DNA sequence: AATTCACAGGACAATTTGTATAGTGATCTA
DNA sequence: TAGATCACTATACAAATTGTCCTGTGAATT
C-alpha cells in the first residue's frame, strides 16, 4: 500500500477543465477570475475553486513576470556542462548561484556533472562569465556552447492540451 | 523632494524603478497596480506607465502561469544533445516540436547540434520519449542525461537586482 | 526662456474581487 | 436505500481595484 494519499483513485492531478483554465491563462495571463469564467462558460466560483485547488496541489505555482533578457541587453544565451570534483556539488552550486548571469543549474547523470544555462551581453561578456565559472572552486572542466536560436521556446502547452483529449466520458 | 533624475540616458532599457517593480512582481505576481504603487511608494499612474513601457519595449512579455510539471505527473526532466544531418535543422525541429514532452529546443554551436529539454512520467516513459526523438527523420545521434536535481531553478532575479546598483562603471 | 517629460496626487464611474448563501445532481458510505 | 458529501450553478453585496482623465511641479532638452 502506498504512502499517504487523500484520494488515490480517479483523481489525476489535472482534469480537462483545469487544463483549459491553464491554457486560457497561458494565452492571456492577466485575465481575472470573472473573465475566465465567462470564457470557459462556467460559474465564477468554479474557476475560483479550481484555481485554489491547482495552487494547493502545487500544480500552479504562480504567475511570475516573464522578462525578456534579450530586451534587457542580455542577447546571448549559452549552455555549459561543468565537470566538478567529486563530492563538491553543493559548494560548486553555491559558487555558481552567486554569479548573476547564471540563470539555471541542474545536476545531471553522466559523471556527477552540472548543466548550466547563462546569459551575457556580448561575446566578450560571455568570456567574462565563463571565466567566472571556471574560477569557482572545484570546477574541473567547462564545456560551453552558445545558443544560436531557440526553435522551441520553453513551453508546457502541448502537455496541457493533451489533457483535453482525455476521456471526458 | 527627491525626484527622479537619471532618465537622461534612455539607452538603458530598464532603470532602477523598473527593476524594483519587476522584482516585486516576481515575488508576488498577482499584485495589482495599486498595491504595487503602495509598496514602491510611487503614484499609481507611475506604476501603470512603467508597466506599459516595459511591455512596449518587450522587456516584460507577460505573466504566464507557472505550471509545476512535477506536480502534474511529469517527475522526470532530461536533457539531450541531438546530432542531426547537415542542413536539416528546420525539419528536425519541426519533428521535435510535435512531441509534447519536448519542452524546449535550442540550436547551439558545437556541431550544428540541438539541445533539448524534455520531461517524462517515469524512466520507462522517458525511454518512450527518447525513442520518439530518435525516430524523428534526420536525427543522427542522441545523447541523453537525466536531471537529478536543480540546484538553481530558472531565475532572473540576480540580474534585476543588479540594476539597483546604479550605472556600474 | 520655452517646451517636453516623468511623476505626484486626486477624482469618478464601471468593473472585479472577496465572501456568503441556497439549490441541484452525482457519487460515496454505512 | 437513506443520508452525507462534493462540485458546480446562480445570486447577492460591500469593498477594493481598474481605466481614465486632470492639474501642478520639478528637471532635462532645445
Q: Residues in chain A, how many?
A: 169
Would you state the pLDDT for residue B104? 98
What does the CA dihedral B119, B106, B18, B50 come to, rounded to 10 degrees?
-90
Residue among B15, B65, B70, B90 with most chain A CBs within 10 A, to mutate: B65
- The set of cell numbers assigned to A34 is 470573472
Q: If you search the block for the grid coordinates 540541438, which residue do you land on? A: B114
pLDDT mean over B143-167? 88
Instruction: Indicate whether A168 pLDDT > 70.
Output: no
Q: Say what the pLDDT of residue A6 is.
A: 31
Give the span between the Cα atoms of A65 and B11, in whole angstroms.
Answer: 22
Residue A110: its pLDDT value, please? 84
Residues B50-74, mean pLDDT to the nearest whole number: 94
pLDDT of residue A4: 28
CB atoms within 10 A of CB B125: 16
Give the pLDDT band (50/70/90) at residue A149.
very high
- DSSP-derived letter for residue A59 is S
Amino acid B1: pLDDT: 32
**Where would I find the beta strands (DSSP E) of chain A?**
60-62, 66-67, 76-84, 102-108, 114-120, 139-152
Kindly tell me if the per-residue pLDDT of A82 is higher than 70.
yes
Cell reading at A129: 562569465
What pLDDT does residue B163 have? 87
In chain B, which among 64-123 make CB contacts under 8 A with chain A? 64-74, 77, 79, 89-90, 93, 96-97, 99-110, 113-115, 117, 119
Helices (H) and strands (E) in chain A, counts: 6, 6
Q: What angle do CA B27, A16, B124 make, to 5 degrees?
A: 85
The whole-chain average pLDDT of chain A stands at: 89
CB contact under 8 A, B65 and A63: yes
Contact A160 B62 (CB under 8 A): no
Q: Do A147 and B66 touch (CB under 8 A)?
A: no
pLDDT-based confidence at residue B4 (cuts at 50, 70, 90): very low
**pLDDT for residue A12:** 73
pLDDT value at residue A165: 53
pLDDT on residue B11? 56
Amino acid at each position: 500500500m502506498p504512502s499517504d494519499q487523500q484520494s488515490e483513485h480517479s483523481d489525476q492531478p489535472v482534469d480537462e477543465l483545469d487544463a483549459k483554465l491553464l491554457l486560457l491563462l497561458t494565452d492571456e495571463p492577466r485575465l481575472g477570475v470573472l473573465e475566465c469564467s465567462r470564457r470557459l462558460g462556467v460559474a465564477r466560483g468554479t474557476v475560483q475553486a479550481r484555481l485554489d485547488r491547482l495552487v494547493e496541489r502545487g500544480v500552479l505555482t504562480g504567475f511570475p513576470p516573464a522578462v525578456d533578457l534579450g530586451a534587457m541587453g542580455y542577447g546571448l544565451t549559452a549552455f555549459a556542462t561543468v565537470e566538478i570534483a567529486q563530492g563538491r556539488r553543493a559548494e560548486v552550486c553555491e559558487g555558481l548561484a552567486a554569479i548573476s548571469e547564471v540563470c539555471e543549474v541542474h545536476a545531471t547523470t553522466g559523471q556527477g556533472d552540472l548543466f548550466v544555462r547563462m546569459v551575457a551581453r556580448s561575446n566578450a561578456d560571455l568570456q567574462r562569465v565563463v571565466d567566472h565559472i571556471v574560477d569557482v572552486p572545484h570546477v574541473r572542466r567547462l564545456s560551453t556552447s552558445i545558443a544560436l536560436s531557440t526553435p522551441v521556446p520553453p513551453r508546457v502547452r502541448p502537455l496541457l492540451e493533451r489533457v483535453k483529449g482525455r476521456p471526458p466520458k
